[in-house]
Amino acid sequence: MKRFVVGLGALAFAALLIGALLEPLMANTPGGVDLRVAVAAHMTASGVDHPVTAVLLNFRGYDTLLEIAVLLLALIVILAIGIDPECDRPRAANPVLQAMARLAAPLMVVVAVYLLWAGAFRPGGAFQAGAVLAAAAVLLHLTGLLPSWQLPGLKLRWGLTAGFLIFLAVAAALIPQGALLQYPPAQAGKLILLIEAGLTVSLGLILAGLFLFLSRDPGDDA
Amino acid sequence: MIWLILLPLLWASLAFISGEGRGKWLAIGGLSGQTWLAFDLAQTVGAGGVAVEHLVGGWGAPLGIDLAADGLSAAMLVLTQCVALPLAVYAGAYYKRGEVAGAYFWPLAGFLIAGLNALFLSADLFNIYVTLELVGLAAVGLVAAGGGAQQVAAALRYLFATLLGSGLYLLGVALVYGGYGTVSISVLTPLVTSEAPRLMWIAGGLMLIGLMLKTALWPFHFWLPPAHGGAPAPVSALLSALVVKASFYLVLRLWIGPFAPLVAAAEWLAWGPAVLGTLAILWGSWQAIRAERLKMLIAYSTVAQLGYLFLIFPLLTGADAVQAGVMQAFAHGFAKAGLFVAAGVFIKATGQDTVAGLAGTVDRLPITLFAFGLSGMTLMGLPPSSGFLAKWLLIETALDRGYWWLVLVVLAGGLLAAVYVFRVLRQAFLQAPANTSLAAVPRTLEWTAFVLAAVSVLLGLRGVELMQLVGVMR
């Protein structure tokens, strides 16, 4: 009975949303804004050639700055709660898997660097590159080549925070230009690459940390 | 004003780098600077009579993100820094060295305050969503930090409520973007008319419900008492005094901003929040009167006090209602922070979180008890406290519009508050059982409670400046 009511409610909600979307959108709202035109018009001043990167790191870079803070915060919350880690991999490591992982990991690092570089002119960028780095760390961990992380040491804490701090420093350093994150068009490309390089490393560590801090190696059952 | 966002982000990250339990002086130093910045901003806005703007990246809306501080924003910023600074001093003395619960308090609190400041300054609907996530996640982390199973369960419930709330808000933002192609409040506001497409009504409804859930308005309050009552005292104070006010601020901002033409087209709509607010006052006070645990009593009192904030919605045809709302936010912010930190002192001294355990504390902790009484005075609305001023403004505005039953609700709420406050005071004046002993408590804890409570009372004398400031609208 309860499931029926919940299902009916969800169905009605979905119907309401679909009904709203069936209305012609931009057309019947006089004066609606088309941001695609605005983005295209300012691409030359953005310092990069790909509109997604231009929006994420330049036009709406402030959103991205706060989103990096959210990701860092998520990791701090996990550390603060102190969830009991569980061992989620077999005791004996498979030598074939280990050999494959040893081959794959360096390749993944190269892919990450390429994705970072490609972000300037095609889909890619710091988030994708960081995710690949994190995947490499998780792969190494699951095949038993990389131990799980306990409480973060000073170096790891710097690594986790560095990308955010670089972004914050660049954003603040540009305030004399007129506003937060106001890149001078000539240097915009270089500054964005600097920010993204820092973010790639830190995001890789943060995303890997979300997995590795919650994991435990076989053997230390304490 | 941009430094009000960057400074807490900076000290929060540095506190994380410097290690577990460290960062107290970074936080107190940073917050002192922020307090000065907030007052400076309020001065600029109040003297200039116009909102201060900052176009991030130099692009300007709709391409970039705008930040804007009008009187309402500036007032909320002043409240945030002025409550957070004494709480930082308190937390520094509250957490013992090496205590698990306090290991990550400073970075979490820093990100929380950065999120709040960013929210109050933002003039972009999507950017506000990001700040809501920052605030919500930090608040959940603070509730859960190092606690037992019960505390983590309360935090999880809080997490689901706050995620559902921000999810509904985000859905609303997506619909608005689909309809108008922009998320900038200043660009959107002139585009919306009373003949707005149905989509805008749905978006407004979703955002309103999501934000009421985050503000814990009755009947969405279910997550608040366990989360606020179960957390350590400095955390409860931060959450009750500031975090729930952020989503209320946002409801108000949208109600008098982009959604104003829709609200004007359907005047009955404003009675929804007001009726829920009335029920919140009655239900929350009743639960507070019955509560066994001291912090639960204070948490239910928050449910009741939040109700007053929503009484202003039918009165929003004039600027005076916003002033009454902000005054209530200030009164409750300082008084509730004072109550929770005083409760923290009592719990540390008696070793138990019950109202019954307070017997005999009048001899040993007179300053704390006095602070509790002063804060209670603000909640009851006795003159000259800021609570009195808030209720006075509310009653005056309601009579002006001829809504006499709102006056009855406000008066009844004050009486009910008196019942639960005097319940605690009476217990504290009783003779202690012969074999009880109270633990020693650092003096800093007692005096910060006193400062917060005293501010909540004395603010009533400086209310005029605050109301002038709030009068400056975007």
pLDDT at position B267 over 80? yes
| pLDDT at residue number A220 | 55
Alpha carbon distance B159, B140 (integer Å): 6
The mean pLDDT of A134-141, rounded to a whole number, is 94
Segment holding B69, helix H or strand E: strand B65-69
Quickly state the pLDDT bin for A92 (edges 50, 70, 90): low
pLDDT per residue as tens digits for the range B85-144: 999 999 999 998 878 888 899 999 999 999 999 999 999 999 999 999 999 999 999 999
The mean pLDDT of B422-435, rounded to a whole number, is 86
Alpha carbon distance B138, B16 (integer Å): 13
Partner-chain contact A63 B65, CB within 8 Å: yes
CB contact, 8 Å: B372 with chain A? no
Bridge partner list, A86 = A215
**Structure ipTM:** 0.94
The mean pLDDT of B418-436, rounded to a whole number, is 87
Residue A67, number of CB atoms within 10 A of its CB: 15
A178 vs B contacts (CB less than 8 Å): 58
Partner-chain contact B6 A171, CB within 8 Å: yes
The mean pLDDT of B151-166, rounded to a whole number, is 94
Tokens of A61: 């870079």
Tokens of A27: 């057309």
Going by the DSSP 8-state scheme, the letter that residue B68 receives in this structure is E
Partner-chain contact B63 A69, CB within 8 Å: no
More confident residue, B100 or B3: B3
Quickly state the pLDDT bin for A222 (edges 50, 70, 90): very low
Residue in B111, B141, B180 nearest the CB of A32: B180
The mean pLDDT of B187-199, rounded to a whole number, is 87
CB contact, 8 Å: B109 with chain A? no
B52-56 and B65-69 strand pairing: antiparallel
| pLDDT at residue number B360 | 83
Partner-chain contact A25 B178, CB within 8 Å: yes
Q: For chain A, what is the radius of gyration of the CA atoms? A: 22
CB contact, 8 Å: A219 with chain B? no
CB contact, 8 Å: B337 with chain A? no
Residue type, B234: P
Quickly state the pLDDT bin for B438 (edges 50, 70, 90): confident
Selected for mutation to probe chain B from A36, A55, A56, A66 (highest B CB count within 10 Å) is A66
Going by the DSSP 8-state scheme, the letter that residue B22 receives in this structure is -
The mean pLDDT of B258-269, rounded to a whole number, is 90
**CA distances to B121, B173, B452, B457 from B114, in Å:** 11, 22, 21, 27
Residue A17, number of CB atoms within 10 A of its CB: 15
pLDDT per residue as tens digits for the range A163-188: 999 999 999 999 998 899 999 988 99
Alpha carbon distance B415, B382 (integer Å): 10
| pLDDT at residue number A104 | 94
Partner-chain contact B180 A72, CB within 8 Å: no
B111 vs A contacts (CB less than 8 Å): 69, 73, 76
Tokens of B385: 């406290």
pLDDT per residue as tens digits for the range A37-64: 889 899 888 888 899 999 999 999 999 9
Contact B452, B86 (CB under 8 A): yes
**Dihedrals φ, ψ of B439, to 5°?**
-75, 155
| pLDDT at residue number A87 | 60
CB contact, 8 Å: B202 with chain A? yes
Contact B109, B142 (CB under 8 A): yes
Tokens of B81: 């820094």
SS3 helix, strand, coil % of chain B, rounded to 5? 80, 5, 20
Partner-chain contact B64 A60, CB within 8 Å: yes
Return left, alpha or beta for A85; rule: phi > 0 is left, psi -120 to 50 is alpha, else beta. Answer: beta
pLDDT at position A94 over 90? no
From first CA to last CA, the distance across chain A in angstroms is: 46
For chain B, positions 146-175, list CB contacts with chain A under 8 A.
146, 152, 155, 175
Segment holding B345, helix H or strand E: helix B319-350
Contact B355, B105 (CB under 8 A): no
B114 vs A contacts (CB less than 8 Å): 69
Quickly state the pLDDT bin for A221 (edges 50, 70, 90): very low
Alpha carbon distance A205, A207 (integer Å): 6
Partner-chain contact B202 A16, CB within 8 Å: yes
| pLDDT at residue number B105 | 95
Kindly report which listed range (A25-29, A117-121, B201-205) carries the lowest average pLDDT score: A25-29
Only one residue has tokens 């989503």, namely B247
pLDDT per residue as tens digits for the range B26-63: 999 999 999 999 999 999 999 988 889 999 998 988 89
- In the Cβ-directed half-sphere of B201, how many Cα atoms lie within 13 Å? 15
Quickly state the pLDDT bin for A90 (edges 50, 70, 90): low
Selected for mutation to probe chain B from A56, A79, A81, A182 (highest B CB count within 10 Å) is A81
Q: How far is B317 from chain A (nearest CA, A)?
A: 26
| pLDDT at residue number B290 | 93
Contact B144, A80 (CB under 8 A): yes
Estimate to the nearest angstrom the gap between the alpha carbon of B313 and the chain centroid: 18
pLDDT per residue as tens digits for the range B18-30: 988 889 999 999 9
The mean pLDDT of B332-347, rounded to a whole number, is 95
Residue in A26, A63, A70 nearest the CB of B126: A63
Residue in B56, B111, B131 nearest the CB of A180: B56
CA angle B380, B383, B385 (to 5 degrees): 75
List chain B domain ranges.
Answer: 267-474
SS3 helix, strand, coil % of chain A, rounded to 5? 70, 0, 30
Alpha carbon distance B231, B213 (integer Å): 19
CB contact, 8 Å: A158 with chain B? yes
The mean pLDDT of B387-391, rounded to a whole number, is 94
Contact B228, B239 (CB under 8 A): yes
| pLDDT at residue number A29 | 57
| pLDDT at residue number B327 | 95
Alpha carbon distance A12, A9 (integer Å): 5
Quickly state the pLDDT bin for A31 (edges 50, 70, 90): low
DSSP 3-state of B219: coil
Residue in A21, A61, A76 nearest the CB of B16: A76
Partner-chain contact B13 A158, CB within 8 Å: no
The residues near B172 (Cβ < 8 Å, ≥ 6 apart) are B202, B203, B204, B205, B206, B207, B210
Selected for mutation to probe chain A from B1, B2, B3, B192 (highest A CB count within 10 Å) is B2
Tokens of B463: 């209310």
User: Sign of the C-alpha dihedral, residues A198, A203, A209, A212?
Assistant: negative
